[in-house]
Amino acid sequence: MGRATHLYAIAIGSNRRHIRHGRPAGVVEAAIGRLDAEYSLFDASPIILNKAVGGAGRDFANAVALVESDLEPAEMLDALKGVERDFGRRRGRRWGERVLDLDLVAWDGGRFVTRRLTIPHPRLAQRDFVIGPLAAIAPGWRIDGSLTPRHLASRLGKRRRAS
């Protein structure tokens, strides 16, 4: 009997040029292509451009891809870190510039917690640059209990208006 297939939401970000893929939006587009080639791409959001947060420096291009894979979460994390390395990502400052950042933000298996990985992503509800694209392609997906990307996006919008 084969392994179960899982659906993963992967946040994709870039704020540094790549020698082959060009500007950050081109890097994100190439990363979506790579995910499509290696996994079964279910859907991908439009690429958005937004201001850097923290000490990240340059502005970001971001998107979210939904992929199907028979990999378990820890294996998927390792595979995504390999893709980042292939794109030239090197360990450095935590919030520094990066050619490619791939984060597992949700999966169809519910809550998953280890020392290396927490799904759903612990800061998912505060990241408009992830929630917006995820809501565009999977607005009703139950992320954690009854919360959906549509709910989380609405909450973020209310917080922004109140500040």
Helix or strand run (H / E) with residue 24? helix 24-38
Nearest CA among 109, 18, 30, 100 for reference residue 68:
109
Residues carrying an active site annotation? 89, 98, 101, 103
Q: Which residues of 28-66 are buried (b: 16+ CB within 10 A; e: fewer)?
A: bbbbbebbeeebebeebbebbeeeeeeebeeebbbbbbb
Nearest CA among 7, 50, 52, 13 for reference residue 29:
13
As given in the structure block, the two tokens for residue 144 are 């954690």
| Residue 7 dihedral angles phi and psi, to the nearest 5° | -105, 125
